[in-house]
Amino acid sequence: MEKSLDRDATRVWRSLGAPLTRREALRRCLFGAGGLLLLNGWGLQSFAATRPAKAKSVIQVWLWGGPCHIDTFDPKPEAGRDYCGPLDSPIETNVSGIRIGQLLPTLAKQADKFSIIRSLTHGNNGHETAAYMVQTGHNAGGRDVYPSAGAVVSLFKGYDAGYQGLIPPYIVLTEPQGRFSEAGFLGGKYKPFATGGDPGRPVFEVEGVVAAGISEQRQRERRSLLQKLNTLGKAMPGDATLKTLYASEDQAYELILGDAGKLFDLTREPADLRDRYGRNTFGQSCLMARRLVEKGVPYVTINYKGWDTHKQHFQAMNRKLPELDKGLATLLDDLAQRGLLDSTIVWVSGEFGRTPKVQWEAPWNGGRNHFGKVFSAVVAGGGFKGGQVVGASNATGEEVRERPVYPCDLLGSMYELLGIDPQAPLPHPQGQQVHVLPLASEGVKSGGRLREIM
Amino acid sequence: MRKRPRVLLFLAGWLATMVASATDATLFSAALTTTPPSRIDELVFGQLRQLKIQPAEPCSDAVFVRRVYLDVIGTLPSAVEAREFILDRRPNKRAALIDRLLERDEFADYWAMKWSDLLRVKAEFPINLWPNAAQAYHRWIRDSLRENKPYDRFARELLTASGSNFREPPVNFYRAVQSKEPPALARAVALTFMGVRADRWPSNQLAGLAAFFAQVGYKSTVEWKEEIVFNDPASTNVAVYLGPTRRARFPDGKTITLPADRDPREVFADWLITPKNPWFTRNIANRVWSWLLRRGIIHEPDDIRPDNPPGNPQLLAHLENELVAADYDLKQLFRLILNSRVYQLSSVPGDESPEAAAHFACYPLRRLEAEVLIDAINQITGSSEKYSSAIPEPFTFIPEDMRSIALPDGSITSPFLELFGRPPRDTGLESERNNRVTAAQRLHLLNSSHIQRKIEQSRLVQDHSQSRKPPREIATGLYLGILSRFPTEEELQAAEAYANSGKVRPREAVVDLAWALMNSAEFLHRH
């Protein structure tokens, strides 16, 4: 039903960030494939991922605000009420020896599909710096702002690397994360396409793609009116800036009048499957993410907010964890049943964990603060083994007990599975020598790649 | 200036018909100009003659009014302002309009935005000024522009201030950097005030400049996120970057022994801020030119180096001399450029070669900046934006009717601003602002509920669709409001044909005409 989606427009919709204009095409012909990069002093460097890859796509479930490791994937019932609050009865999973939080019963049945990292650490408690470190693998405070994993994947597996999809290669459901410019010095071309809208609503109005109340007929009438009234364009037919505008317009109309709307139409999924994902924004975002990777989109971020629970933490967990449980568990199951899990990395984490010791006093009334010293992440698919635990925290979840994992270790492992060389150079606007992940010489802490689960 | 002379309104009706019958050819260009020739024109046109490049025609009044509003105050003229200007018969009306615009409040808003990009005014990562300091810094910049503080004083205050980041806002210059190490401060100073990328300097040259910033000290206070910037002779950096000989090296190669009793920043400022300094005036004169004409005479304007010479050295020298003669009055430099025939050329080129564009043979087409574009859309539709800042504490309240060009802090943003290439304010480079048109932007303007809702709910559309005005009159109103000009006969006929086609309802016809004009190349660009 969606076959024509890629067929017609593959060549047209090169990149949301940088449409391939006729002029640009000409330049590429003149200079060869690397013409544009040549201008930046980058020679004929190609940024395509060339290594053998197990994974084709990534679904990043970003728990914005920092979820508590103790209440989710690293329970510590023995630490008592001061640490666990009411969530003191973790449950066994379908992998013997692995226990997870009691509000994650559906995920417990999928534990053979994912691995838990219990010893992530970077030591930073500021949202913005921690989010930067976890998503770039670089320390904050240098003079460059590095691109996030999504932008890196979009560089190495997007249009520059032969991706031909109509849908942009880096999608965020539904709002950008903010906090730092996700593409860093790579620039706007590698920023994610934010869908806007809400997949949990009856109609998922993807901003710009799905417009309610405007018939296809009227869309066409309007377009021809727009062309008729293009007086300035008629006065300067040779202008290169306007040619870029027209090329972008053609691409936009491929999405508006083409079949992209069908991809975002979740009513095409069976009702019971939608129920299993959970009829809420997060659950339906997971379903949408599956539909996107099924279409070959290399990087999808689900920006799942609301984990910064300084106050009344446990009430929030009672609300949010069941959503996370259903959505994520169904996603893993659905991907596995469709044979997509082997080629899709699912990465679940926030920027840090939360203080293991509960702040019972006012004004927190049972809150948890930021905690970058140790926290957990979940990885599944795309070459990561399931049913494993990497590293451990101590008895109260306050220290790394064994096998510290730093953000660059996790990202480096992901890149390796995606066929991206973690040491590969990145294009830099001022021609600086920079790499996907910090080199050993840069002194960034590392505990080594996650060989035990790859 | 916003008064509407009755006579003009009375005349507007029949004059409009006359103007409206302009053909496409006279719409954007004029055969004659009443703008007196200037030294700038001599230098630019002289060079064009030598290069055998045909310059564009002078721009029409309709083009000029829209252009000069957007360029000087980042704001679209209202329908009334556009009409009055177009119908005004006084020969010096362009110069008079320039003078009025330079005094508008939006001048300070718009140029404070530009300076805040260059000075990286941003609460959040990676600059981390934090909200109160970002607000204070922005207010100081805006006030400086409003009172037209001479640029040399502006620069000196930024370079030499000491005190609290809340109470002495220019000290934030030394905080709005990703690293506070002396070499990083030196790079920021060179980029901002010399237009030079010191990364490319030999290491001893950078180290020599860094020595002037070895004593920049920072200390916190009991107040949340307050930081004092001060001259700290006891800084641990002194041993590393200054050494016992206290030798520092100016960028021109001269060395100096820094006296122990003076703030080294003052010594550096004394060297930099003088008409004799080869970098100081050149940098700002070239930048102002590039802001108004898209390209620097040295291009890019923040990449000045011996192997990147000016395209028209005499022109640049002239601007520098004029700025010095005006005691660094930046508005005077603006006035000089805006009143030139070069600035007032049409954007329809007389010669389409890249050389022509590089030598200012026409006014370059430029997509409106993110902030200016959304403000223009909001002005036309009478709507507002939701802004947010990711900083949770202290909460930054942003009134919805605030204009985007007036946002004080780069961390306060909206999805629209991000999509349309607002600079992240990470580095202070001019190239951070990305005005390239992308398909995602096209998609948003053509078909998003965000824009569609604004158009449908606008007073402009509602008034017009409820009135029983003929389609021609409605079209004239929309053209004046959106494109700041009268429509041509051909355009009127197209609008009329659309309304009478029977394919869309009358209200939809009004919405679609407004939509088409707001999506036109003419609306999306300065031209």
For B255-278, what is each residue's pLDDT tens digit?
A: 999 999 999 999 999 999 999 999
- The number of angstroms, rounded, from the C-alpha of A322 to the middle of its chain's C-alpha atoms is 21
Please give the biggest Cα pair distance in chain A. Answer: 77
Minimum-distance CB partner of B442 among A175, A211, A249: A249
All residues of chain A having their beta carbon less than 8 Å from the beta carbon of residue B495 are: 229
User: Prior bond to A363 cis, omega within 30?
Assistant: yes
Helix (H) or strand (E) holding A120: strand A114-120
Among B124, B184, B488, select the one facing A128 at the smallest CB separation: B124
Phi/psi for A118 (5° steps) reads -105, 10
Instruction: List the domain boundaries for chain A.
Output: 47-210+264-453
Distance CA A147, CA B369 (A): 23
Angle at B168 between CA B165 and CA B170, to 5 degrees: 85
Q: Is B266 on the interface with A (CB under 8 A)?
A: no
Contact B340, B38 (CB under 8 A): yes
Contact A207 B448 (CB under 8 A): yes
Angstrom distance (rounded) from CA A333 to CA A331: 5
CA dihedral B20, B26, B32, B34 (to 10 degrees): 40
Whether residue A174 is preceded by a cis peptide bond, meaning omega within 30 degrees of 0, is yes
Q: What single-letter DSSP state applies at residue B55? A: P
- Do the strands A299-304 and A57-63 form a parallel or antiparallel pair, or are they unpaired? parallel
Count the neighbouring beta carbons within 10 Å of the beta carbon of residue A338: 12
Q: Packing angle between helix B489-499 and helix B471-482, nearest 10 degrees?
A: 120
Among B366, B450, B525, select the one facing A207 at the smallest CB separation.
B450
The pLDDT assigned to B126 comes to 82
What is the spatial distance between Cα B362 and Cα B353, in angstroms, rounded to a whole number?
11
Q: Does residue B170 fall inside a structural domain?
A: yes
Dist CA B238 CA B210 (whole Å):
10
Would strands A57-63 and A344-349 be described as parallel, antiparallel, or unpaired? parallel
At B467, the amino acid letter reads S
Q: Which residues of A touch B184 (CB under 8 A)?
A: 143
Are B24 and A231 inside 8 Å of each other by CB?
A: yes
The C-alpha atoms of residue A365 and residue B490 are separated, in whole angstroms, by 69
Helix, strand, coil shares of chain A as percentages rounded to 5? 40, 15, 50
> A162 vs A55, A152, A171, B201, CA distance in Å?
16, 15, 17, 38
Nearest Cβ partner for A218 among B199, B437, B508: B508
Q: Report the gap between the CA of A191 and the closest CA in chain B (Å).
A: 9
Picking from A61, A58, A60, the residue whose alpha carbon sits closest to that of residue A153 is: A58
pLDDT given for residue B1 in this prediction: 41
Structure-block tokens of residue A187: 């620039």
Structural domain including B177 reads: 150-272
> What are the chain B neighbours of A205 within 8 Å (beta carbons)?
449
| A205 → closest Cβ in B434, B449, B504 | B449
Q: Write the DSSP assignment of B241-288 as a string of letters.
A: IITTTTEEE-TTS-EEEPPTTS-HHHHHHHHHSSTT-TTHHHHHHHHH
DSSP tally for chain B: helices H, then strands E: 26, 9
Q: Between the CA of residue A83 and those of A29, A119, A398, B295, B313, what are the distances in Å? A: 63, 18, 10, 61, 71
Which phi and psi (to 5°) does residue B110 adopt?
-65, -45
Residue B81, C-beta contacts closer than 8 angstroms, at least 6 positions apart: B2, B65, B69
User: A275: distance to nearest CA of chain B, Å?
Assistant: 28
> CA-CA-CA-CA torsion for B231, B235, B239, B240, nearest 10 degrees?
-90
**Among B180, B307, B448, which would you mutate to test the A interface (most chain A Cβ atoms within 10 Å of its Cβ)?**
B448
- Quote the pLDDT of residue A6: 40
Query: Please, are residues A169 and A293 in contact by the beta-carbon 8 Å criterion?
Result: no
Look at B125 and A230 and tell me if their CB atoms are within 8 Å. Answer: no
Contact A129 B495 (CB under 8 A): no
Residues 6+ positions from B57 with CB-CB distance below 8 Å: B29, B30, B31, B345, B346, B348, B350
Shortest distance, CA B58 to any CA of chain A (angstroms) = 15
pLDDT tens-digit map of B125-146: 888 898 899 999 999 999 999 9
Longest Cα–Cα distance in chain B: 86
H-state helical runs in B326-470: 330-338, 354-358, 370-381, 415-419, 439-447, 449-456, 459-466
Q: Which amino acid, one-letter code, is at A293? A: V
Alpha helices in B370-527 (DSSP H): 370-381, 415-419, 439-447, 449-456, 459-466, 471-482, 489-499, 506-518, 521-524
The per-residue pLDDT string of chain B (527 residues; one tens digit each, 9 = 90 and over) reads 444 444 444 444 444 444 444 555 579 998 888 889 999 999 999 999 999 999 999 999 999 999 999 999 999 999 999 999 999 999 999 999 999 999 999 999 999 999 999 999 999 888 889 889 999 999 999 999 999 999 999 999 999 999 999 999 999 999 999 889 999 999 999 999 999 999 889 989 999 999 999 999 999 999 988 999 999 999 999 999 999 999 999 999 999 999 999 999 999 999 999 999 999 999 999 999 999 999 999 999 999 999 999 999 999 999 999 999 999 999 999 999 999 999 999 999 999 999 999 999 999 999 999 999 999 999 999 999 988 887 655 566 788 789 999 999 998 988 899 899 999 898 999 999 988 898 889 999 999 999 999 999 998 888 888 878 899 999 999 999 999 999 999 999 999 999 999 888 889 999 999 999 999 999 999 99
Minimal-distance CA residue of chain A relative to B349: A236
For A13, which residue in chain B has the nearest alpha carbon? Answer: B439
Distance (Å, whole) CA A57 – CA B224: 43
3-class secondary structure, B485: coil
CATH topology of domain A47-210+264-453: Alkaline Phosphatase, subunit A (3.40.720)
Is residue B375 a contact partner of residue B368, using CB atoms and an 8 Å limit? no
Confidence (pLDDT) at A179: 57
At B378, phi and psi to the nearest 5? -65, -35
Contact B520 A141 (CB under 8 A): no
Q: Which residue of A has its CA nearest to B492?
A: A229
Residues of B in contact with A215 (CB under 8 A): none
B62-76: b or e for each residue (b if 16 or more CB lie within 10 Å)?
bbbbbbbbbbbbbbb
Q: Which pair of tokens denotes residue A24?
A: 């640009």
Closest CA to B41 of B425, B341, B475: B341
Mutate to test the interface with B, among A145, A234, A236 (most CBs of B within 10 A): A236
Which of A178, A234, A252 comes nearest B443 by C-beta? A252
Instruction: Pick the residue from chain A with its C-alpha nearest to B516.
Output: A226
Q: Which pLDDT value is given to residue B208?
A: 95
Q: Residue B392's pLDDT is what?
A: 59
Query: Which chain A residue has its CA at the smallest distance from B392's CA?
Result: A127
Identity of the residue in A19, A176, A229 whose CB atom sits nearest the CB atom of B439: A19
| Chain A hits for B125, Cβ within 8 Å | 128-129, 132, 140, 179-180
Q: Does the beta carbon of B449 lie under 8 angstroms from any beta carbon of chain A? A: yes
A140 neighbors A129 (Cβ within 8 angstroms): yes
Q: Which of A18, A229, A245 sits opposite B516 (nearest CB)?
A: A229
Q: How far apart are CA A20 and CA B436, in angstroms?
A: 12
pLDDT digits (tens, 9 = 90+) for B169-198: 999 999 999 889 999 999 999 999 999 999
SS3 B70: helix
CB pairs < 8 Å spanning A and B: 194
pLDDT of residue B364: 95
B453 touches chain A (CB under 8 A): no
B382 touches chain A (CB under 8 A): no
- Model confidence, pTM: 0.86
B500 part of contact set with chain A, CB < 8 Å:
no
Residues 301 to 360 of B: which have CB under 8 A from any A CB? 347-349, 352
CA distance B239 to A362: 48
Q: Give the chain B residue whose CA is nearest to the CA of A183.
A: B424
Report how far residue B499's alpha carbon sits from residue A258's, in angstroms, rounded to the nearest whole number: 27
Q: Is B11 on the interface with A (CB under 8 A)?
A: no
Say if B228 falls within a structural domain: yes
Answer yes or no: do B443 and A176 touch at CB < 8 A: no
Structure ipTM: 0.91
List, as ranges, residues 205-224 from B with C-beta within 8 Å of A: none
Say if CB B82 and CB B66 are below 8 A apart. yes
Structure tokens at B341: 């025939």
pLDDT value, residue B395: 61
Does residue B526 sit at the A interface (CB-CB below 8 Å)? no
Count of helix runs (H) and strand runs (E) in chain A: 15, 16
Distances from the Cα of B187 to the Cα of B209, B211, B267, B427, angstroms: 9, 12, 17, 10
Q: Which residue of A has its CA nearest to B126?
A: A141
Nearest-CA residue of chain A relative to B510?
A222
| Set of chain A residues whose Cβ sits within 8 Å of the Cβ of B440 | 16-17, 168, 193, 208
- With CA atoms as reference, report the closest residue to A255 among A298, A301, A219: A219
Q: For residue B491, list chain A residues with Cβ-Cβ distance below 8 A.
A: 229, 231
Report the chain B residue with the minimal C-alpha distance to residue A15.
B439
Q: How far is CA A99 from CA A70, A102, A194, A347, B373, in A?
A: 11, 9, 35, 19, 54
DSSP annotation of A375: E
HEC secondary structure over A59-81: EEEEECCCCCCCCCCCCCHHHCH
Phi-psi region of A313 (alpha: psi -120 to 50; beta: other; left: phi over 0): alpha
Q: Is residue B258 part of a domain?
A: yes
Chain B hits for A232, Cβ within 8 Å? 28, 520-522, 525, 527
Can you tell me the distance from the alpha carbon of B177 to that of B123, in angstroms, rounded to the nearest whole number? 11
What residues in B contact A176, CB-CB < 8 Å? 415, 418
**Residue A295: count of CB within 10 angstroms of its CB:** 16
In a domain, B189, yes or no: yes
CA distance B459 to chain A (A): 20
Q: How many domains does chain B have?
A: 1
CB contact set of B105 (below 8 Å; sequence gap of 6+) = B146
Q: How far is B448 from chain A (nearest CA, A)?
A: 4
- What residues of chain B, 13 to 52, have a C-beta less than 8 Å from chain A? 24-25, 27-28
Distance CA B262, CA B162 (A): 13
What separation in angstroms does the CA of A251 have from each of A8, A203, A256, B195?
Answer: 11, 23, 9, 38
With a cut of 70, list the residues of chain A below it in pLDDT: 1-50, 178-181
And the tokens for B300? 């890019």
